[in-house]
Amino acid sequence: MFPASALVQDLPLVYNKTLSACNSSALLSGAPYGVVICDKVGFIYEQLDQIAASKVGAAIIISDDPELFELGGVPWPVVVISPTYAKAVIDYAKTAHKPTATMKFQQTLLDTKPAPAVASYTSRGPSRSYPDILKPDVMAPGSLVLAAWIPNSEAAIIGSLSLSSDYNMISGTSMACPHASGVAALLRGAHPEWSVAAIRSAMVTTANPYDNTFNYIRDNGLSFQIASPLAMGAGQIDPNRALDPGLIYDATPQDYVNLLCSMNFTTKQILTITRSNTYTCSNPSPDLNYPSFIALYNNKSTAFVQKFQRTVTNVGDGASSYKAIVTAPKGSKVMVSPATLAFENKYEKLSYTLTIEYKSEKDGKVSFGSLTWIEDDGKHTVRSPIVVSQVVTPW
């Protein structure tokens, strides 16, 4: 993304193998003034620096490095194209009588596909602070977000000139967090009676695992593979669906204390966290009533069975019935009992058990699936990701 409306119109298009690595400003400075095509060499930021230093008219860089699309700014008029299209562009430059190129900047393109995608910089699980709870929970927009900026700090660069601005395009989990926090605040306003756990549950179980091509969300950081819940949680947050989730997985402060007790936190440590003497360790439990599932394996055994106990609260309009639909992680077997939950009243609670039979993988492979409770009339679908992963060492 170039921070100005550069005029690059009908400039000569240049492809020269002597220059095409674009790693020498001296060589590039001797090129005919125009748009230089730069081969994919694996060092795109070095190429950008050399292009800016050479002051060529503009450049087309061949790359599939996701970081440039996620992190943004370039210091010189540059367009990045996928290696998929490289041959056609190079052939045109080499065979046309007078090949030219035009670039337009400072444009907003809508309906880009596929989107969203997991950013290469995303926070990835399992969580080393406590691997037995699946993290992350959800994903939210975080790449190239227009945000307020420090007016006396660098916002962009053109060549060697630093530019300031009251606004900047920022990428990172610090941009995704406000989106998720804002949705949580909206849910708190709409449902002031909900606990923090209920709000999180609504966001998780209504998140969307699909992109705008109706395929599973891809992971930019893992060669565009289908993203695992260890990269995106349950999927992209969906505020409108989260307002009416149908069922929620609630948890009380004592439930969290039971988890801390199972982790061998001392009474003093728990008091530091809770600031209250009203909680006890009479019933320690590692199985928090969480809207997701993770089963961990090690190399000491080939077969594992893990059971999870969950309780859901009906926050729909009234009486309702849900059926369990399971997509088991590859190589695993998942059983849910009971497979039907019939609620007679709003706020009624019902419990079920999910059992995973799985095995260790020599290559440390991660497999994943889901449990979805579907209401009989189809109004609500309550989806929870399931992950089978190699154990990690806690901090």
Taken in order of first residue, the domains within the chain and their CATH numbers are: 8-103 (3.50.30.30), 145-251+288-390 (2.60.40.2310)
Which residue is associated with the tokens 């002051």? 55
253-262 vs 267-274: helix crossing angle, rounded to 10: 150
pLDDT for the residue numbered 33 = 93
Please give the Cα distance from 208 to 138 (Å, whole number).
Answer: 9
The size of the chain, in residues, is: 395
**What's CA 245's distance to the chain center, in Å?**
21
pLDDT for the residue numbered 66 = 81
pLDDT for the residue numbered 395 = 63
Q: If you compute the radius of gyration of the chain from its CA atoms, what whole number of angstroms results?
A: 26
Q: pLDDT per residue over 205-247, tens digit each?
A: 999 999 999 999 999 999 899 999 999 999 999 999 999 999 9
Is 152 exposed, middle or buried, given 0-12, 13-18 or 19+ CB atoms closer than 10 A? exposed
Determine phi and psi for 58, rounding to 5 degrees.
-170, 180
Q: What residues of the chain score a pLDDT lower than 70?
A: 395
Contact 70, 171 (CB under 8 A): yes
313-316-319-322 Cα dihedral, nearest 10 degrees = -70
pLDDT for the residue numbered 185 = 98
Say whether pTM exceeds 0.85.
Answer: yes
pLDDT for the residue numbered 393 = 76
pLDDT for the residue numbered 34 = 95
